[in-house]
Structure 1
Amino acid sequence: MAELDVVAWVHARDGLLLTVRTRGRDLLYLPGGKREPGEDDWTAVSREVREELGVELERATFRGLGVLRAAAHDQPDFTHVRMACFTGGHRGEPAPLGEVDEIRYVGPAERALLAPASQAALDLAVAGGLLG
């Protein structure tokens, strides 16, 4: 079974979770993505968020929220995602950049709009008290 190692930024505002839709995808994902060779968590998450949303994460507030595993959406059968989730403050206003076509804030009632790993991250955010 193949496993994709990814990192994600879990950001809530007004009780809703920030998600993105990348070009050609039907479901929403969390900002983040695959690590480059040799990248640690901070480097990978901050780079991905800067590339996708144009915001700078704040190192002093960066913390792990949890690691989850789920079926990978839009990948070959039996592919799973190992997603390390992080929270942290930021500078700037998120806006779609690069391969991101849309940003959207969603709540638990909109769970079906999310890819499987992002659904699990939504649950993690609810359990962590980040969403209303």
Structure 2
Amino acid sequence: MPGTTSPTPEVIRAVGLVRFADRRLLLVRADRQEAFYLPGGKIDPGETEQQALHREVREELGVGLVGARFFRRYETDAVGQGDGVQVSLSCYSGELDGEPQPAAEIAELAWMTREEYLARPVTAPAIVALYADLDPA
């Protein structure tokens, strides 16, 4: 209809930790979720991306993050958040100061290859794109 504008899509700003070794990416799955995604999460008001990343890694993996280097940003559909919801995921690499363990709302932690991830019943578009950059077929 002329003169109408479509609503601005909701965009979730989030950060994620990229730990990639031996063609495997460290991923987590939250309680009541099917998709695995990067350790990390939403950025709270007043937080920088790096502050949010350090907080989320400590909460979800029970270890600290040493250093954080920006890798890439992905803007895609947000899995499990409703139709039309987008995510702007800022990915950072860094080292952990201990052995990661599932904590807080995290039900499961896994190191997956691209093939293992793509075989899952539910995948996150941002993680599929990240795998394409980390481990091109």
TM-score by length of 1: 0.89
Once the two structures are superposed, residues 89-120 of structure 1 have per-residue CA deviations (whole angstroms, 9 ceiling, x without a partner) of 11010000010000011111123233222222
2:134 corresponds to which of 111, 122, 125? 125
Task: Say if 1:10 and 1:125, in contact at 8 Å, map to a contact too.
Answer: no
Give the unaligned 5+ runs of structure 1. Answer: 128-132
Corresponding residue of 2:24: 16
Within-5 A mapping of 1:27-38: 27-38=35-46
Sequence identity (%): 36
Q: Is 1:68 matched up with 2:74? A: yes
RMSD across aligned C-alpha pairs, in angstroms?
A: 1.3
Q: In 1, Cα distance between the equivalents of 2:133 and 2:50?
A: 19
Q: In 2, Cα distance between the equivalents of 1:125 and 1:31?
A: 16
Task: Say if 2:16 and 2:90, in contact at 8 Å, map to a contact too.
Answer: yes
The alignment partner of 2:135 has SS state of helix
Deviation of the 1:13 alpha carbon: 2.9
Corresponding residue of 2:99: 93
Corresponding residue of 1:130: none
Runs of 4+ in 1 over 3 A off after TM superposition: none
Give the unaligned 5+ runs of structure 2. Answer: 1-8
